[in-house]
Amino acid sequence: MLATYLASTPLLEESWRLCSRANTAAQQSFAVNRVGKVAYVAFSGVQVVDCSEESCRSLVELESGAKGIFGAFCGGGEGDREPIMVHGGLLQLFLCFYHTHNFQHKMLEILNESKSVVFTGHSLGGALASLSALWLLSTIQTASPSIHVLCITYGSPMLGNQSFSQAILQERWGGNFFHVVAEHDIVPRLLFAPASPFMDQLRALFEFWQLSMASPYLTQLAPKLSFDNIAEVFDKVLACVEERSRRGNDQERSSFWPFGSYLFCTENGAICLDNRMAIVKLLYLTLAKGSAKSCVEDHLKYENYVGGVCWQYLQRKSLTDVYFSESSNEAGIALALQSSGIASQEPIYGAAKNCLGMARQLGCRRNLNNAKMAVSLAKITPLRAQIEWYKAFCDDSDDQLGYYDSFKRRSASKRGSKVNMNRVRLGQFWDEVINMLETNQLTQDFHNLPKYVNASQFYKLLVEPLEIAEYYRTGMHKKKGHYIEHGREKRFKIFDKWWRDRKVGDEERNPRSKFASLTQDSCFWARVEEARDNMYRITSEMDLGRHSLLLDKIEKFERYASGMIERMEVSVDVLAKNSSYNLFREEWKVLQSQMQLLPTRFPVSQDGMVQEICFEAETTFRPAFHDGKLVS
C-alpha cells in the first residue's frame, strides 16, 4: 500500500532528483527544496566517515552517544532487552550536521513554514536522512505533532540493532521510513559482515562511488577497482547475509537489523516488505543472483530503478508466462516473484516463494487481528459500564467522598472488590493490545483508528484514578516514590501520545458549559497526593532553599487545579466536600495563614544569620498534621 502510494505520487522521483543534486552540488552537506507545503531535505552521499577508531566501526548506545538529543526514544531497552544502539561512525557524522547553525536554522524554518517534511539521501546520505527523521519525530512529539515526517533512502547502509528497530515499531514510526534497495547493491547488506578484514577494499569502493556520484567525469580519477578483491568482499558479505537469514530472530547484541519498509527494485518491477525477517531473507536471495561487478554497479543505478518503478505503475504488467492457481494469494506471490526477477527455474525460487508467502500471511494476520480486537473491545464494554455505574454511585453518596476517595478508602465489600477486579481485567486487555502493537501483530495505522483512540482515552480517564487510588492505598508511594514518576503504567503514557496525535475537531475547542463527566487530566489525583505530601514535608523542612522549592510546587499545583475547575475540565467528584482535593484546599489555607506569620523569606547568607532567624520563627509557628489534616 505504501509502495503504491509512493509510486503514484511525485515523492519518489522528486526525492531522487534532489538526492542527485545533493550528490553533485552539496557534497558533504545537504540540499533543501520546497514544493508547496512539502519540504524535501536531501543529504549528499558524498560523505567522509571516520573509521579510525573501533567505536566508529561498530554499534554504540544511542542514549550516551547522542547525549539525549533523541529524547525519550533512546531511553534504552526495557527489562532484559538490550539497549538501543546505532552505528558509531554514522551517528558521529549526523552529530556533525546537527550541531551546525545551518542545520538548526533550516530545521526551524521548515517547522514554521511546512506541513510535511521528506528526508532523503543516497548511500551514506540515506543513513543521515534516517537519523534526521528520527530526531525530528522525537522532537515534534510534544513540540509540533501536526508536522508529517517521511524518510526515503536509496542504497542506505543498515543503521541500528534489533532494539533500535523494535523501538521504532513501538513508537509506530515504521511507516515513516522507506528504504529503496537495488537488487544487487552491496551497501544495504555491507554491515552484516565485519569490516575490519576489508578496510582497504571498502575505502577504494567508497572513493569510486563518491567520485561517480559527484560527477561521471571524475570516475576516471578513482583508483582502478580490482574485481578479484571486490569478489572477496562480495563472497564474505553474501555468506554473512545468508547466515543471518538462517538464524532468524536469534541474533547477537552486535547485529544490525532492518527497520521500516523496504522496496526491492529490479528491472522487472519492485517488491515492498515491512516484515524484518522477510527483508533479511530477500536481501540474501536477491544478492545471491548478483556478482562482484553488479554489486558495485547497482549502487549507482537508482535513477534507472526509480524511473522504472514509477513508469511500470502506470502500465498493466502482462503475466502471460506465469501460471496462476485459483488462489489470489498465489497470484500475488507470483506477481511479486516476477517483479523481483526470480524465475521459477532458478534454485532460489522455492525459498523466495516461501519468504514472500510468510510476509503475506503476516500482513493478512494483522488485518484479522484488528477484526478480533474489535470483538474483544466489545466484550470488555460491560466491565467499563460497571465502573461507570460505580462512579455515579460514589458521586451521589451521602458521605461526599467522591469517586477517587471512595475507592481509595473502600472497605472489604462485594461492590469494591468487583470494581477492583474490573480495573485489573481492563488493564490486562489494554496491555495485550500494546504487546500486539509492539510485536507488529496489528496494522500500522491501528493507533490512529478513532475507535481505539477514543476507547483508550475513555479508559484512561475512567480507570487511571482507580490505579492512583490503589497505588496510594497500598502505600506504594512510600516504597517507590510518587505515582506519576515511579508508578504510572506504560499503557497510559502510550495512550497520552495517541490522544495528543489525533485530529482535533472544532467542537473540542469550544468552552464547556458544565463540568466534565470525567476529569480531563487522568493524573489529577496523583498531583493532589503529591501536593498534600509536599505540605506535610514543608512543615519539617529546615533548609530554606528546599522549603522555598516545596512551596513553589504547591503554589503551581494550586493555580493548575484552579484553572481546570474554572474551565470545567474536572468531574464533580473533585469538588465533593470530603474529597482529597477539598482537604488539600483546607490544608493550604491553614498553611498560608501560618506562612503569613513567618518573616519574609530571605536569600541564604554565608554567615548563617538569616537561617537562624527563619529557624526560630518556624519553630514558633510550625503547623502540624493531626488525623491526616493540617492544623494550627
C-alpha–C-alpha distance, residues 455 and 495, integer Å: 10
Residue in 232, 297, 273, 291 with CA at minimum distance from that of residue 2: 273
Residues annotated as catalytic (active site), given as ranges: 123, 185, 299
Cell of 17: 532528483
For the chain, the C-alpha Rg in angstroms (whole number) is 30
Distances (CA, A) of 503 to 67, 119, 146: 32, 24, 9
Neighbours of 374 (CB within 10 A): 12
φ, ψ dihedrals at 254, nearest 5°: -90, 15
| Residue 339 near residue 296 (C-beta atoms within 8 A) | no
Neighbours of 139 (CB within 10 A): 18
Per DSSP, 571 falls in state: -
Largest Cα separation within the chain, whole Å, is: 97
- The DSSP string of 377-408 is HHHTHHHHHHHHHHHHHHHT-TT--HHHHHHH
- The DSSP string of 575-625 is G-TTSHHHHHHHHHHHHHHHHHHSPPP-PPPTTSHHHHHHHHHHHHH--EE
Residue in 75, 73, 71, 119 with CA at minimum distance from that of residue 97: 119
Cell of 418: 468487583
| Residue 42 near residue 332 (C-beta atoms within 8 A) | no
Distance of alpha carbon 419 from its chain centroid, rounded?
Answer: 33
Tell me the torsion sign for CA atoms 569, 573, 577, 579: negative
| Residue 32 near residue 40 (C-beta atoms within 8 A) | yes
Residue in 512, 522, 381 with CA at minimum distance from that of residue 462: 522
- The DSSP string of 219-242 is GGGSPPP-HHHHHHHHHHHHHHHH
C-alpha–C-alpha distance, residues 295 and 431, integer Å: 45
Q: What size, in residues, is the chain?
A: 632
In the sheet with 148-154, reading across from the earlier edge strand, the strands are 30-35, 38-43, 116-122, 148-154, 177-182, 261-266, 269-273
What burial class does residue 456 get, using C-beta atoms within 10 Å of its C-beta: 0-12 exposed, 13-18 middle, 19+ buried? Answer: buried
Cell of 100: 551546525
Tell me the torsion sign for CA atoms 245, 249, 254, 257: positive
C-alpha–C-alpha distance, residues 110 and 124, integer Å: 23
Q: Which residue has the cell 558524498?
A: 46
Tell me the torsion sign for CA atoms 290, 293, 297, 299: positive
Q: What is residue 525's three-state secondary structure? A: helix
